Amino acid sequence: MAYEVLARKWRPQQFADVVGQNHVTQTLQNAITANRIAHAYLFVGPRGTGKTSLARLFAKALNCKTGPTITPCDVCDSCREITAGTSLDVQEIDGASNNSVEQVRELRDNVKFAPTHGKYKIYIIDEVHMLSTAAFNALLKTLEEPPAHVKFFFATTEAHKVLPTIVSRCQRFDLRRIPVALIIERLNLIASEEKVSLDSDAALAIARGAEGGLRDAESALDQLIAFRGETIAEADVLAVFGLVSRQTLELLATAILKGNVGEIVRTIAELDSAGKDMQRLVLELLDHFRTLLVYLCVPEAAPTLDVIAPQVESLKQQAQLADPDRLMRIAEVLSQAEDRMRYSLSRRTLVETSLIRCARATTVSVDDLMKRLEALSQSVGGGAMVPSPTSARVEAVREPSPPAYAPRAQAPVSRAPVSPVSKPSPAPASVKSELDVLTVQWRDQIVERVKREVALAGVALLDAKPLLVEQNRVVIGFDPQFARKLEQIKIPTYHAAVHKIMVQFLKRPVNVECVLMTGEGSADVPADHTVDKGAGANSRAGSAPHSKTRQDWHQEPVVRKTLEFFNGSIVDIRE
Ligand SMILES: [Zn+2]
């Protein structure tokens, strides 16, 4: 027998076989039983969710020799012809193809003739929103007064593009994305029938890759069987689809929640060199945090979440690290990143900075903020920086180095209003935090501002990142793949723009050096100022030194205390 692709071979032949669309199959079966069949139906839904399969199945149910029936016999001529796609009474038109206008005209001429075998002449028009205006108009005339023996089944992924005059003449059914659990179930069934061994993480990976489309999942399984033969493991699926393993995804999410920037940077470097799809990664993380948010906010909805058992375990653990406000903030950052991904030349840099931003995302409620402000004004306003009685307790409970993200629920004491702990902060720590600030603010504060000075200089900077910030020196690194951008940025006017913005941002004169990075994102940071000294060092911005540097401000008791209260960092200094 000729080879048949799985998606076709396993196309549902009975209403009971349709996966994940009970709300539609139930209504259609009720209509058949009650003999209340409309003239036209519109099936709307994402690709691969079963729109045309349902239309064919419905056609078979209507035209079966025993029909209209909710269980077509699959043996009569009509059933077999419809299954094989050779029935003269059921015509399929692809709205996207060029000849669909001719077909619609032909249809208009032919509808008046009675069906050959079955009871109905059924027209299935796929991607109906793609029909040309001429075809639409031809169709509309027929649709206004269809003969009793004619039925129309339309399918579309984009209902809003279908003419309202057509939609209003149809019964509309919205098909859903199919839940991961149901896709897995179906894949397991097919695998066992096809004598293929498919482990559970492999099935999950396929289902994740299919994004709710069963047909995509089945095609993927097909490809994998061709690629790997009879045993399919998670690694095979990940390799073929550029996906990240469930475990890595969960580790990354944990690193974000724990504020572990090192782990994030290391993981991204690994995934990038393994050629993983960065956009996909961001989408999956976004989905993960959404699920975590639901898990956290609506515990009773947990059983309805589209996750498998091991995922629930990790959700449980991560819920200890998160609070809803912070998750909302993370989701916001991720969806912004997803949005920018399309235009970004260096996806890796974008993902990296976005995840670091997520790791640092903290949120405070307004109430909380007010309380803290009050406490702050009391302790600072009195001029007394003497530890209050509570401070000893606060200090005792605090971890040696409290993580910046400390979730509210977990460590309420760390939010106690008074915290006069002013550890001497050595210069290197504040220098490092300046680099962090610069990294997080890179796109918004540096790239965007440079763009306003010299647009192309800003574009070149998109693919760079800050490597080092010292008292009078900033080093910016470019991946070797963006060596050309480095050359561009050395053009004097470009460099002057970067220099100007950097001086404005840091509030002190600095030299800006641009270098090529080597290997895994590490940089050959030159030890001295031999490389490309700030060409714009004499620009006006550079010649206006501020009375106090960022570091000076860091040493100010009031500033230090404020930073501590809000787990903040100095972003901008205005005088
Ligand atoms: Zn039949």
Give ion ligand 1 contacts, CB < 5 A: 64-65, 72-73, 76, 79
Centre of ligand 1 from the C-alpha of residue 20, in Å: 24
HEC profile of 474-520: EEEEECHHHHHHHHHHCCHHHHHHHHHHHHHHHCCCCEEEEEEEECC
- Amino acid at site 346: S
Please tell me the distance from the alpha carbon of residue 232 to that of residue 542, in angstroms, as a whole number: 61
Give 294 Cα–ligand 1 centroid separation in angstroms: 46
Distance of CA 149 from the midpoint of ligand 1 (Å):
18
Count how many domains the chain has.
4
Does residue 390 belong to any structural domain of this protein?
no
| Structural domain of 217 | 180-241
pLDDT at 191 over 90: yes
Of the ranges 56-60, 107-111, 457-461, 476-480, which one carries the lowest mean pLDDT score?
107-111
Least confident of 308-322, 383-397, 512-526, 559-573: 383-397
Q: Quick one: 198 and 272 in the same domain?
A: no
Round the average pLDDT of the chain to a whole number and report it.
81
11 and 136 assigned to the same domain: yes
348 shares its domain with 275: yes
Look at residue 407 and tell me if it is in a domain: no
Same domain? 437 vs 331: no
16 and 155 share one domain: yes
In a domain, 561, yes or no: no
Domain boundary among 241, 257, 279: 241
The pLDDT value recorded for residue 401 is 40
The CATH number assigned to the domain holding 204 equals 1.10.8.60
Would you state the pLDDT for residue 380? 65
> 195 and 89 share a domain?
no
Share of the chain above pLDDT 70, in %: 82
Q: Please state the rounded mean pLDDT for residues 461-469.
A: 87
pLDDT class of 175 with cuts at 50, 70, 90: very high
Cα 26 to ligand 1 centre (Å): 20
CATH of the domain at 110: 3.40.50.300
Q: Reply yes or no on whether the pLDDT at 55 is more than 90.
A: yes
Distance of CA 278 to the CA centre of its chain: 10
Per-residue tokens: 36? 């209340």
pLDDT for 126 equals 92
User: Are both 130 and 209 inside the same structural domain?
Assistant: no
pLDDT at residue 445 tops 70? yes
How many A from CA of 86 to the centre of ligand 1? 14
- Centroid of ligand 1 to alpha carbon of 65 (angstroms): 5
Q: How far is the CA of 81 from the centre of ligand 1 (A)?
A: 10
Centre of ligand 1 from the C-alpha of residue 123, in Å: 18
> Is there a single domain that holds both residue 273 and residue 153?
no
Q: Are residues 490 and 515 in the same domain?
A: yes
Q: Residue 61 C-alpha to ligand 1 middle, in angstroms?
A: 7
CA of 1 to the centre of ligand 1 (A): 23
Task: Identify the residue whose tokens are 């993200």.
Answer: 405
Digit-coded pLDDT (tens) for 210-228 = 888 999 999 999 989 988 8
- Final residue belonging to a domain, choices 211, 241, 271: 241
Rounded to the nearest angstrom, the distance between the alpha carbon of 130 and the centre of ligand 1 is 32
Q: Does any domain span residue 393?
A: no
Q: Which pLDDT band holds residue 381 (cuts at 50, 70, 90)?
A: low
Domain edge (last residue) among 138, 155, 174: 174
pLDDT one-digit tens code per residue, 493-520:
899 999 999 998 888 889 999 988 875 5
Judge whether 572 lies within some domain. no
Looking at residue 198, its pLDDT comes to: 92
pLDDT, tens only, 535-559? 444 444 444 445 667 777 777 777 7
Residue with more model confidence, 378 or 458: 458
Going from the Cα of 142 to the center of ligand 1, the distance in angstroms, rounded, reads 28
Asked whether residue 415 is assigned to any structural domain, the reply reads: no
Enumerate the H helices of 131-245 as residue ranges: 133-144, 164-167, 180-193, 200-210, 214-228, 234-241
Q: Is residue 23 in a domain? A: yes
Mind spelling out the 3-state secondary structure of 277-291?
CHHHHHHHHHHHHHH
In a shared domain, residues 16 and 162: yes
Task: Count the residues in the chain.
Answer: 575
Q: Are 129 and 228 within one domain?
A: no
CATH number where 295 lies: 1.20.272.10
The terminus-to-terminus CA distance of the chain in angstroms comes to 81
**Residue 564 covered by a domain:** no
Same-domain pairing of 168 and 184 = no
Average pLDDT over residues 93-112: 80
> What's the gap in Å between 172 CA and the centre of ligand 1?
26
